[in-house]
Structure 1
Amino acid sequence: MSAARSSILRIVDVPPGAADRLACRLPYRASGPFLLASSVIAAAYGSSFILPEYMEILGLEHEVAGFIISSGMVATIVCCCLAGRLAQRIGIMPTMAAASVVMALAMAAFAAAVLDARLAYAGGMLVGVGWSVLFILSPLQIIRHLRPTARIQHLTILSGAQMAGLGLAAPLGHFLTEYTGSMAITYALFAIACVIATICIGVAGHAMLRIPSVPMPHIEVTLVKTIALLRHATAAPIMMIAVAACIFSGLSTYQSAYAAARHLNPDLFFVVFTVTSVALRFSVAHMLDRVPVERLALTLIIATGASLTLFIVNPGNELLYILAAAIFATGYGLSYSTLNGIAVNLAGEHGLSVPVASQIFTLAYFLGSFGFPVLGGKLIYEFGINAMLLTLLGATVLNGVLAATLRPKARIGSL
């Protein structure tokens, strides 16, 4: 979720003198609806975390939810590559509005799965389309209107809004399901919320028309550039974010299964994770440039491993559950921006394309997020929840090994 921060700081080259006419902040009439829409769409994406429960209600196995979520992986990759090209044709905000409509259709497909479970697979595909486009384009709309010195603050706010929606989706989904008595109705309400988000994007877009902006350059991801990136040191942080995304998606998607096995409330995990992540992103972002990034990355990986160990050994203690969630939020919550900073800095040091490095980094994140639930579901079905957690712990060890190979000269603050 932190792609809104460090991955795009060098994508836009402001022409000489143009920075003087850019705004220091976005007016509330533009930023308010934009942030609200971002939170709502993130919550719609986060509703995939309660899909395993929904599939169980429909009489299906947990692994089916994994297949549904992973069905959007191909669509995500394709749309990540095409989002910028489409936005240049019709505009960033119209493209985001269209993606919001796609998310509404995805939620409607999930709701209709109570009639035909096959529609859930269509929902998974549509989630991949809508979320990938919104995730990549929303930070670009922010930075095109702001002076370089003002971007980090506003992008951090955007990231926090997205994380708030993402983390609160499961507790909200459970509350709505308990209130309405139907998870299908809950997804229908998410669909309505996405329609409202589309309107908010339109309102924000209209307000932003009055704000000075800079033109967006054409950015194209090609096979040649991708291979060049992966042949150099940038391969390590790109691989690391893919692994980190696997850990996050596995623990989040099957948190209900874990909590049920330990007689805990899964909403507790999502609330603690969200509050901790959002608080950290707002409080320590300005301090990250003071720490060597390779040391910071390794520290965050160790924290992630410690949290997974607590999840494994916890027999069902609520306080231990809260502690594990908070430590995981610390380790994972700051890892995206850290690894992203390493990737783009290394690309610059090797004379490679920084924008393409950022986009490939995001693609790797989506690969892990959408790809792992299939494996996670199979592990739970065959061997139980602890087998999946041990696999995630092994993945954390792999990231630790990769982190030990990092020797970047630059710091995050030099982006």
Structure 2
Amino acid sequence: MMKQEDRNDGISRRGFLKRAGLLGAALCVNPVLEKATAAERVLTGQGQVVRDIPAGMAAVRELRTLGNGTAAFRVSAMGFGCMGLNHHRSSSPDEAACIRLVREAIERGVTLFDTAESYGYHKNEILTGKALKGYTDRVFVSSKFGHKFVNGVQVKTEEDSTPANIRRVCENSLRNLGVETLGIFYQHRSDPNTPIEVVAETCAELMKEGKILHWGMCEVNTDTIRRAHRVCPVKAIQSEYHFMHRTVEENGVLAACEELGIGFVPYSPLNRGFLTGAINEYTRFDTTNDNRQTLPRFQPEAIRANTRIVEVLNAFGRTRGITAAQVALAWLMNKRAFIVPIPGTTKLSHLEENLRACDIRFTAEEMTEIENAVAAIPVVGSRYDALQESKIQK
């Protein structure tokens, strides 16, 4: 394995935030910008806002590109998923501790933070906004629209990507997060009643108005990606992707992203914590704030069977001085240069562990070895229940 080298290239963005619509957004193409972005200067050592990252510190020292051409979007090679700070992950630290952790991630080079309207219905966005206050010139924060809510309660059998709802969610997200512009605005789940072309057109308008820099979609198929991309270039696709769920390799989504120059952002890259080895059949999840207790794959019998996969990761990592979590994250980052995983955590030690995966390089032989070893073990249990699975495009 080889350690990665720091990169000194940079592309700009900050100054564009209010001018997005005035500089060609009608074509959904951002202009080539002249100065290094504040977010990128943190990594490249340019500009006055730089925070030197000590050589031995766990940090992100590489930029990756989502999209291509003049619309290229440069972000840290690993992002941070904010959902678990206070939503769906059992007990959470107090607000002050969450804020400290997010800011520590920023100091360690993370420039992409991910949240959504539906994570506690504004709750996670508001917390993320508090954590990013004073740092928004150095980072990008992304959110999501598309779930249907009535009086703050999600209607789980329906989705809503009508233009009116997209705009409503956008305004709420901007207010909750305390930013002028969202980095990426994702459609959380497809809406069968709203053509994706209409969704793309609405996002193009929001780009023109300077309210979003880029847009993306979650858990969609290749046909939807191509239709949307023809209307307004898609910056990133966000789908579940890890050793225990590799569907995007089989259904053509990953290949389509590579062909079209679209970034790929895997959510739950550690399978909701399972691939860290910290969960076993005796683990009990908070019934009031943890969706894992409802998922087939997190039932005791499934956990018991799937632990064999974690054992394989541990065995592979042990001879290389890395943990199971680092094997899982490094494998993703070695798959494609346009993949930017967004693991989340509430602990500084886990943040450090995750970030060190950015320095790991596997040879082609090592990639084949670990993939074959994991593939030999059947995964037990579905990742979602029937209703949630029905919302995933096949």
TM-score normalised over the length of structure 1: 0.24
Q: Pick 1 or 2: higher relative contact order, CA cutoff 8 A, min separation 6.
A: 1
Higher helix share: 1
Higher strand share: 2
TM-score normalised over the length of structure 2: 0.25
